[in-house]
Amino acid sequence: AETGFKKALEIENAPAPLEALGKIKFRLASERKDTGMLFSASVFFERALLLNPYSASAYRDLSAVYCTAGEEKLLTGLQERKKKIFKAGKQ
C-alpha cells in the first residue's frame, strides 16, 4: 500500500496520499515502538496540513503522533495552529 501512495505523490503532491502515508508510518511506528518512525509520520501529516490547513483528520492524526511521542510542546503548538486556522475560516 505504501508504494502505491508514494507513486500517487509522484503524480501529484496532494493531501490524501500524504495523510495515508502518515497513517501507515504511524501504525508501523506504534507497533514497533519506533520513535524515529513516529516523526517520519509527523512529516507526512505536516505536509498534508501545508496543502490543506482545514484537514481535521490530519490534525487528529498528528495530535496522536505527538501524544504517542510524548511531545507536549509540539502538541500544544499544533493545537494553537488549529485554533487560528479554524477561527480564521469563520470570519
Q: Please, which pLDDT band fits residue 5 given cuts at 50, 70 and 90?
A: low
Question: Which pTM does this prediction carry?
Answer: 0.83
| Contact indicator for 65, 38 with CB cutoff of 8 Å | yes
How many of the other CB atoms lie within 10 Å of CB of 83? 10
Read off the C-alpha cell for 37.
518512525
Per residue in 56-69, pLDDT (tens digit) is 999 999 999 999 99
Per residue in 24-51, pLDDT (tens digit) is 999 999 999 999 899 999 999 999 999 9
Mean pLDDT of 75-89: 89
What's the mean per-residue pLDDT of the chain?
A: 88
